[in-house]
Amino acid sequence: MINDEQKKCVTIFVISDSAGETASKLAAASMAQYPTVDFSLFRRTFAKEEEKLKRALEDAKRENAMVLHTIVNDRLVKIANDFFEEHNMYHFDILTPPVAEIERLTGIAPTREPGALHHLNENYFKRIEAMEFAVKYDDGKDSRGFLEADVLLLGVSRTSKTPLSLFLANKNLKVANLPLIPEAHLPKQLWETNPKKIVGLTNDPDILNGIRKERMRTYGLPADTSYSDIEKIKKELTFANDLYQKIGCEVINVASLSIEETASMILNALNLEDHSYYATESPE
Protein backbone atom coordinates (compact mmCIF):
# COMPACT_ATOMS: atom_id res chain seq x y z
CA MET A 1 0.00 0.00 0.00
CA ILE A 2 1.42 3.41 -0.96
CA ASN A 3 1.03 6.12 1.64
CA ASP A 4 0.75 9.85 0.94
CA GLU A 5 4.46 10.42 1.58
CA GLN A 6 5.36 7.92 -1.13
CA LYS A 7 3.13 9.56 -3.74
CA LYS A 8 4.90 11.14 -6.64
CA CYS A 9 3.86 14.14 -8.66
CA VAL A 10 4.34 14.27 -12.43
CA THR A 11 3.80 17.35 -14.56
CA ILE A 12 2.66 16.92 -18.14
CA PHE A 13 2.47 19.66 -20.74
CA VAL A 14 0.28 19.27 -23.82
CA ILE A 15 1.53 21.57 -26.57
CA SER A 16 -0.26 21.88 -29.91
CA ASP A 17 -0.67 24.25 -32.83
CA SER A 18 -4.36 23.27 -32.81
CA ALA A 19 -6.87 22.28 -30.10
CA GLY A 20 -4.58 19.67 -28.54
CA GLU A 21 -7.30 17.02 -28.20
CA THR A 22 -5.16 14.15 -29.46
CA ALA A 23 -2.31 14.82 -27.05
CA SER A 24 -4.74 15.46 -24.19
CA LYS A 25 -6.39 12.07 -24.72
CA LEU A 26 -3.01 10.36 -24.72
CA ALA A 27 -2.11 12.19 -21.51
CA ALA A 28 -5.40 11.14 -19.89
CA ALA A 29 -4.94 7.51 -20.94
CA SER A 30 -1.41 7.51 -19.53
CA MET A 31 -2.41 9.14 -16.25
CA ALA A 32 -5.23 6.63 -15.74
CA GLN A 33 -2.62 3.88 -15.38
CA TYR A 34 -1.25 5.51 -12.21
CA PRO A 35 -4.08 6.08 -9.69
CA THR A 36 -1.58 6.65 -6.85
CA VAL A 37 0.34 9.38 -8.66
CA ASP A 38 -0.54 13.06 -8.46
CA PHE A 39 -0.52 14.76 -11.85
CA SER A 40 -0.47 18.36 -12.97
CA LEU A 41 -1.64 18.77 -16.55
CA PHE A 42 -1.07 22.01 -18.46
CA ARG A 43 -2.38 22.73 -21.95
CA ARG A 44 -0.72 25.19 -24.30
CA THR A 45 -2.83 25.12 -27.47
CA PHE A 46 -3.01 27.04 -30.76
CA ALA A 47 0.72 27.71 -30.55
CA LYS A 48 0.95 28.58 -34.25
CA GLU A 49 3.50 31.37 -33.89
CA GLU A 50 7.13 30.93 -32.89
CA GLU A 51 6.86 33.33 -29.97
CA LYS A 52 3.86 31.53 -28.46
CA LEU A 53 5.52 28.14 -28.91
CA LYS A 54 8.71 29.32 -27.21
CA ARG A 55 6.71 30.63 -24.24
CA ALA A 56 5.02 27.24 -23.93
CA LEU A 57 8.39 25.46 -24.07
CA GLU A 58 9.87 27.73 -21.40
CA ASP A 59 6.84 27.11 -19.19
CA ALA A 60 7.30 23.36 -19.57
CA LYS A 61 11.01 23.59 -18.72
CA ARG A 62 10.28 25.70 -15.65
CA GLU A 63 7.81 23.07 -14.41
CA ASN A 64 10.25 20.22 -15.15
CA ALA A 65 7.51 18.68 -17.27
CA MET A 66 7.29 15.87 -19.75
CA VAL A 67 5.80 17.11 -23.01
CA LEU A 68 3.30 15.52 -25.37
CA HIS A 69 2.90 17.55 -28.53
CA THR A 70 1.01 17.64 -31.79
CA ILE A 71 2.72 20.21 -33.99
CA VAL A 72 2.55 19.85 -37.77
CA ASN A 73 4.52 22.86 -39.01
CA ASP A 74 8.04 21.67 -39.90
CA ARG A 75 9.71 24.84 -38.69
CA LEU A 76 7.91 24.75 -35.34
CA VAL A 77 8.65 21.04 -34.91
CA LYS A 78 12.36 21.77 -35.36
CA ILE A 79 12.25 24.63 -32.85
CA ALA A 80 10.57 22.36 -30.31
CA ASN A 81 12.92 19.42 -30.89
CA ASP A 82 16.00 21.63 -30.64
CA PHE A 83 14.68 23.03 -27.36
CA PHE A 84 14.01 19.57 -25.92
CA GLU A 85 17.47 18.34 -26.92
CA GLU A 86 19.21 21.41 -25.51
CA HIS A 87 17.47 21.08 -22.15
CA ASN A 88 17.38 17.27 -22.03
CA MET A 89 13.59 17.15 -21.69
CA TYR A 90 11.37 14.12 -22.29
CA HIS A 91 8.98 14.69 -25.17
CA PHE A 92 6.75 12.64 -27.42
CA ASP A 93 5.93 13.83 -30.91
CA ILE A 94 2.60 12.20 -31.68
CA LEU A 95 2.04 13.31 -35.28
CA THR A 96 5.39 13.53 -37.05
CA PRO A 97 6.28 9.77 -37.24
CA PRO A 98 2.95 8.51 -38.67
CA VAL A 99 2.62 11.52 -40.98
CA ALA A 100 6.17 10.91 -42.27
CA GLU A 101 5.42 7.21 -42.81
CA ILE A 102 2.27 7.98 -44.82
CA GLU A 103 4.33 10.37 -46.94
CA ARG A 104 6.93 7.63 -47.48
CA LEU A 105 4.29 5.08 -48.48
CA THR A 106 2.36 7.36 -50.83
CA GLY A 107 4.92 9.86 -52.05
CA ILE A 108 2.38 12.58 -51.23
CA ALA A 109 3.44 15.49 -49.04
CA PRO A 110 1.17 16.32 -46.06
CA THR A 111 -0.64 19.65 -45.99
CA ARG A 112 1.02 20.59 -42.66
CA GLU A 113 -2.17 22.40 -41.75
CA PRO A 114 -2.90 22.78 -38.03
CA GLY A 115 -6.40 21.70 -37.04
CA ALA A 116 -7.11 19.91 -40.33
CA LEU A 117 -9.08 17.31 -38.37
CA HIS A 118 -11.65 19.95 -37.40
CA HIS A 119 -12.58 21.36 -40.80
CA LEU A 120 -16.14 22.60 -41.13
CA ASN A 121 -16.72 20.20 -44.00
CA GLU A 122 -19.54 17.84 -44.95
CA ASN A 123 -18.41 15.35 -42.34
CA TYR A 124 -18.54 17.98 -39.62
CA PHE A 125 -22.09 18.97 -40.49
CA LYS A 126 -23.14 15.31 -40.52
CA ARG A 127 -21.91 15.11 -36.95
CA ILE A 128 -23.93 18.17 -35.97
CA GLU A 129 -26.97 16.60 -37.65
CA ALA A 130 -26.42 13.38 -35.69
CA MET A 131 -26.20 15.31 -32.40
CA GLU A 132 -29.41 17.19 -33.19
CA PHE A 133 -31.04 13.83 -33.99
CA ALA A 134 -29.96 12.44 -30.61
CA VAL A 135 -31.51 15.40 -28.80
CA LYS A 136 -34.73 15.23 -30.82
CA TYR A 137 -35.25 11.51 -30.24
CA ASP A 138 -33.92 11.32 -26.70
CA ASP A 139 -35.93 9.61 -23.96
CA GLY A 140 -38.54 8.21 -26.36
CA LYS A 141 -39.87 11.68 -27.20
CA ASP A 142 -40.77 10.66 -30.73
CA SER A 143 -40.75 6.98 -31.64
CA ARG A 144 -40.91 7.80 -35.35
CA GLY A 145 -37.15 8.35 -35.16
CA PHE A 146 -36.53 4.68 -34.36
CA LEU A 147 -36.77 3.63 -38.01
CA GLU A 148 -34.37 6.35 -39.15
CA ALA A 149 -31.79 5.75 -36.41
CA ASP A 150 -28.51 3.90 -36.87
CA VAL A 151 -28.78 2.72 -33.27
CA LEU A 152 -31.75 2.38 -30.92
CA LEU A 153 -30.85 2.16 -27.23
CA LEU A 154 -33.27 0.61 -24.75
CA GLY A 155 -32.94 0.59 -21.00
CA VAL A 156 -34.51 1.29 -17.63
CA SER A 157 -33.82 4.63 -15.96
CA ARG A 158 -30.15 5.43 -15.23
CA THR A 159 -28.53 3.00 -17.65
CA SER A 160 -26.67 5.80 -19.47
CA LYS A 161 -28.96 6.00 -22.51
CA THR A 162 -28.69 9.76 -23.03
CA PRO A 163 -24.91 10.10 -22.48
CA LEU A 164 -24.35 7.16 -24.82
CA SER A 165 -26.65 8.67 -27.45
CA LEU A 166 -24.68 11.92 -27.47
CA PHE A 167 -21.32 10.15 -27.38
CA LEU A 168 -22.24 8.00 -30.38
CA ALA A 169 -23.72 11.04 -32.14
CA ASN A 170 -20.25 12.57 -31.93
CA LYS A 171 -19.16 9.64 -34.09
CA ASN A 172 -21.69 10.67 -36.76
CA LEU A 173 -24.24 8.03 -35.79
CA LYS A 174 -27.94 8.80 -35.48
CA VAL A 175 -29.09 7.42 -32.13
CA ALA A 176 -32.54 7.26 -30.55
CA ASN A 177 -33.30 5.88 -27.13
CA LEU A 178 -36.34 4.60 -25.27
CA PRO A 179 -36.73 4.36 -21.47
CA LEU A 180 -38.32 1.10 -20.39
CA ILE A 181 -41.07 1.25 -17.77
CA PRO A 182 -43.01 -1.99 -17.09
CA GLU A 183 -46.37 -0.22 -16.93
CA ALA A 184 -45.79 1.93 -20.03
CA HIS A 185 -47.01 1.19 -23.55
CA LEU A 186 -44.31 0.16 -26.01
CA PRO A 187 -44.54 2.08 -29.31
CA LYS A 188 -45.31 0.07 -32.42
CA GLN A 189 -42.17 1.42 -34.09
CA LEU A 190 -40.09 -0.66 -31.67
CA TRP A 191 -41.38 -3.86 -33.29
CA GLU A 192 -40.83 -2.41 -36.78
CA THR A 193 -37.16 -1.62 -36.07
CA ASN A 194 -34.46 -4.01 -37.25
CA PRO A 195 -33.26 -5.90 -34.11
CA LYS A 196 -29.71 -5.74 -35.48
CA LYS A 197 -29.57 -2.02 -34.70
CA ILE A 198 -31.13 -2.28 -31.24
CA VAL A 199 -29.05 -2.46 -28.06
CA GLY A 200 -30.59 -3.33 -24.72
CA LEU A 201 -28.75 -1.78 -21.76
CA THR A 202 -28.93 -3.42 -18.36
CA ASN A 203 -27.22 -3.06 -14.98
CA ASP A 204 -26.71 -4.87 -11.69
CA PRO A 205 -29.55 -4.19 -9.24
CA ASP A 206 -27.30 -3.10 -6.36
CA ILE A 207 -25.33 -0.69 -8.54
CA LEU A 208 -28.49 0.75 -10.05
CA ASN A 209 -29.93 1.11 -6.55
CA GLY A 210 -26.91 3.20 -5.51
CA ILE A 211 -27.07 5.35 -8.65
CA ARG A 212 -30.76 6.11 -8.14
CA LYS A 213 -30.29 6.92 -4.46
CA GLU A 214 -27.58 9.40 -5.37
CA ARG A 215 -29.86 10.86 -8.01
CA MET A 216 -32.51 11.49 -5.38
CA ARG A 217 -29.97 13.16 -3.10
CA THR A 218 -28.91 15.55 -5.85
CA TYR A 219 -32.54 16.64 -6.09
CA GLY A 220 -32.63 17.26 -2.35
CA LEU A 221 -35.05 14.35 -1.86
CA PRO A 222 -34.88 11.30 0.44
CA ALA A 223 -32.62 8.59 -0.96
CA ASP A 224 -35.08 5.80 -0.24
CA THR A 225 -38.07 6.16 -2.54
CA SER A 226 -40.03 3.85 -4.82
CA TYR A 227 -37.65 4.96 -7.59
CA SER A 228 -34.67 3.51 -5.73
CA ASP A 229 -36.43 0.54 -4.14
CA ILE A 230 -34.32 -2.54 -4.81
CA GLU A 231 -37.27 -4.87 -5.39
CA LYS A 232 -38.82 -2.46 -7.88
CA ILE A 233 -35.47 -2.19 -9.65
CA LYS A 234 -35.21 -5.96 -9.93
CA LYS A 235 -38.68 -6.10 -11.50
CA GLU A 236 -37.74 -3.36 -13.99
CA LEU A 237 -34.56 -5.20 -14.98
CA THR A 238 -36.44 -8.48 -15.37
CA PHE A 239 -39.00 -6.75 -17.59
CA ALA A 240 -36.21 -5.20 -19.68
CA ASN A 241 -34.24 -8.43 -20.06
CA ASP A 242 -37.38 -10.37 -21.02
CA LEU A 243 -38.08 -7.73 -23.66
CA TYR A 244 -34.52 -7.96 -25.02
CA GLN A 245 -34.91 -11.72 -25.41
CA LYS A 246 -38.21 -11.26 -27.21
CA ILE A 247 -36.68 -8.70 -29.59
CA GLY A 248 -33.49 -10.69 -30.09
CA CYS A 249 -31.24 -7.66 -29.74
CA GLU A 250 -27.72 -7.19 -28.42
CA VAL A 251 -27.57 -6.81 -24.61
CA ILE A 252 -24.84 -4.94 -22.71
CA ASN A 253 -24.47 -4.74 -18.94
CA VAL A 254 -23.10 -1.26 -18.22
CA ALA A 255 -22.47 -1.92 -14.50
CA SER A 256 -18.68 -1.70 -14.70
CA LEU A 257 -18.28 0.07 -18.03
CA SER A 258 -17.44 3.65 -18.88
CA ILE A 259 -19.36 5.48 -21.60
CA GLU A 260 -16.38 5.05 -23.92
CA GLU A 261 -16.16 1.30 -23.29
CA THR A 262 -19.89 0.79 -23.78
CA ALA A 263 -19.84 2.82 -27.00
CA SER A 264 -16.95 0.74 -28.32
CA MET A 265 -18.84 -2.46 -27.52
CA ILE A 266 -21.90 -1.12 -29.35
CA LEU A 267 -19.85 -0.27 -32.44
CA ASN A 268 -18.32 -3.77 -32.45
CA ALA A 269 -21.61 -5.58 -31.77
CA LEU A 270 -23.50 -3.75 -34.52
CA ASN A 271 -20.58 -3.74 -36.98
CA LEU A 272 -20.62 0.06 -37.14
CA GLU A 273 -17.68 2.31 -37.94
CA ASP A 274 -16.66 5.51 -36.21
CA HIS A 275 -17.44 8.06 -38.94
CA SER A 276 -16.27 11.11 -36.99
CA TYR A 277 -13.01 11.36 -38.97
CA TYR A 278 -14.15 10.65 -42.50
CA ALA A 279 -17.27 10.64 -44.60
CA THR A 280 -18.38 7.23 -45.81
CA GLU A 281 -21.72 5.54 -46.06
CA SER A 282 -22.74 3.05 -43.40
CA PRO A 283 -22.63 -0.57 -44.61
CA GLU A 284 -25.98 -2.06 -45.51
CB 154 within 8 A of CB 249: yes
CB 205 within 8 A of CB 241: no
Residue 251 marked as a ligand binder: no
Rounded Cα distance, 106 and 101, in Å: 9
- Strand pairing partners for 200? 154, 251
Residue 228 marked as a ligand binder: no
Residue 264 marked as a ligand binder: no
β 66-70/38-44 pair status: unpaired
Residue 161 marked as a ligand binder: yes
Residue 162 marked as a ligand binder: yes
Residue 282 marked as a ligand binder: no
Residue 157 marked as a ligand binder: yes
Residue 156 marked as a ligand binder: yes
Rounded Cα distance, 72 and 70, in Å: 7
Binding residues for ADP: 155-162
Binding residues: 155-162
